[in-house]
């Protein structure tokens, strides 16, 4: 599929009509809101308005989120029509700007072939055991990994939400981690995939520093790619950090856009 068509598919299924595991969705004529069932945060995943309406739109969403969620997060892509005006409006209203990522996509078949070749070239990843995390307690592994890699991030906010998803048997997300021979969790990666969607979104891919450059990240890609294949997804998408982008490019991922999250705590 051409890149333009892939981006249009992504915007439709993963933004405009997205179904995020554990979130209630509201679609209006101008925005799509997804609010966690715990009330921890609301995501603005999609918007459609002119640059001249950006400031008004942000004010409306700040009013609408009151009493519904404790954090408002707006996801802004470089190809969005109102990008510059919306960024200015968000920053002017006290939103913090998170690091930029690159939206990258690959077909499941292409990645499977690339991962097979990568596995043939190295045995390092065999020292890690990949497991699916299926109980709330299992997500202690994420807390340990993320606190090690991102000590200043609000990791517990996400981990606690994900515990709730597991407790509710949410089918739209799968969690994995890689463990050493002595059962230390060292690498993580989960996948959002609404049953029936053509695209699965890979998230949370990170590795403790001592285990980097030993193919742990690729190991997490492989286990999620297999799960996506079994669930019938045709494409995998990643919001890649600068560190992950070169790895993903070597495996066949194509950049489609860039994006950043804008976050504000609601009083």
pLDDT digits (tens, 9 = 90+) for 74-92: 999 999 999 999 999 999 9
pLDDT at 54: 98
| Residue/partner pairs of 230-233 with CB below 8 Å, 24 or more apart | 231/193, 231/195, 231/200, 232/196, 233/108, 233/193, 233/197, 233/198, 233/199, 233/200
What is the average pLDDT across 204-222? 89
**Cα dist from 153 to 34, 137, 148, 164, whole Å:** 21, 20, 10, 20
Please check whether residue 187 is in contact with residue 178, taking contact to mean a CB–CB distance below 8 angstroms.
yes
pLDDT at 213: 84
Average pLDDT over residues 89-114: 94
Q: What percent of the chain has pLDDT over 90?
A: 83
Question: pTM of the predicted model, to two decimals?
Answer: 0.92
Check pLDDT > 90 for residue 114: no
Sign of CA dihedral 165, 48, 78, 266: negative
Answer for the pair 259, 78: CB distance below 8 angstroms, yes or no. Answer: yes
What local confidence, expressed as pLDDT, does residue 124 receive?
A: 53
- Alpha helices (H) in 44-139, listed in sequence order: 54-64, 83-92, 108-121
Task: State yes or no: pLDDT of 120 exceeds 70.
Answer: no
* pLDDT above 70 for 189: yes
CA 168 to chain centre: 20
Nearest CA among 266, 265, 260, 267 for reference residue 79: 260
- pLDDT band, residue 40 (cuts 50/70/90): very high
State residue 212's pLDDT score: 87
User: What secondary structure does DSSP assign to 137-159, as a single string?
Assistant: GGGHHHHHHHHHH-TTS-HHHHH
Work out the pLDDT band at 181, boundaries 50, 70, 90: confident
Output the pLDDT for position 215: 84
Q: Report residue 62's pLDDT band, with 50, 70 and 90 as the boundaries.
A: very high
Q: What is the mean pLDDT of the chain?
A: 93
**Which CATH number fits the domain 102-258, given the four candidates 3.40.50.2300, 3.40.50.1860, 3.40.630.30, 3.40.47.10?**
3.40.630.30
Does 11 or 113 have the greater pLDDT score? 11
Res 118: pLDDT: 64
Ranges of each domain in the chain: 3-100, 102-258
pLDDT one-digit tens code per residue, 121-132: 554 555 789 999
- For the cut 90, the answer to whether the pLDDT of residue 97 exceeds it is yes
């Amino acid at each position: 599929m051409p890149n333009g068509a892939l981006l249009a598919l992504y915007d439709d299924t993963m933004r405009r009509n997205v179904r995020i595991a554990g979130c209630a969705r509201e679609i209006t004529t101008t925005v799509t809101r997804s609010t966690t069932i715990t009330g921890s945060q609301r995501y603005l995943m999609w918007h459609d308005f002119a640059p001249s309406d950006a400031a008004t739109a942000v004010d409306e969403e700040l009013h609408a989120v009151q009493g519904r969620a404790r954090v408002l997060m707006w996801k802004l892509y470089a190809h969005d029509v109102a990008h510059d005006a919306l960024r200015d409006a968000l920053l002017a209203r006290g939103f913090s700007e998170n690091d930029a990522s690159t939206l990258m996509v690959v077909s499941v078949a292409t990645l499977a072939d690339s991962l097979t070749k990568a596995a043939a070239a190295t045995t390092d990843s065999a020292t890690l055991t990949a497991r699916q995390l299926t109980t709330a307690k299992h997500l202690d592994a994420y807390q340990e990994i993320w606190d090690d890699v991102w000590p200043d991030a609000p990791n517990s906010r996400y981990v606690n939400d994900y515990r709730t998803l597991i407790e509710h048997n949410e089918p739209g997300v799968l969690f994995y981690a890689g463990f050493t021979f002595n059962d230390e969790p060292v690498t993580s990666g989960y996948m959002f995939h609404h049953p029936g969607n053509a695209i699965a979104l890979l998230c949370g891919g990170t590795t403790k520093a001592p285990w980097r450059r030993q193919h742990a990240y690729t190991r997490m890609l492989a286990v999620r790619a297999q799960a996506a294949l079994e669930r019938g997804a045709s494409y995998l998408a990643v919001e890649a950090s600068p560190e992950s982008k070169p790895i993903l490019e070597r495996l066949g991922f194509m950049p489609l856009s860039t994006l950043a999250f804008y976050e504000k705590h609601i009083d």
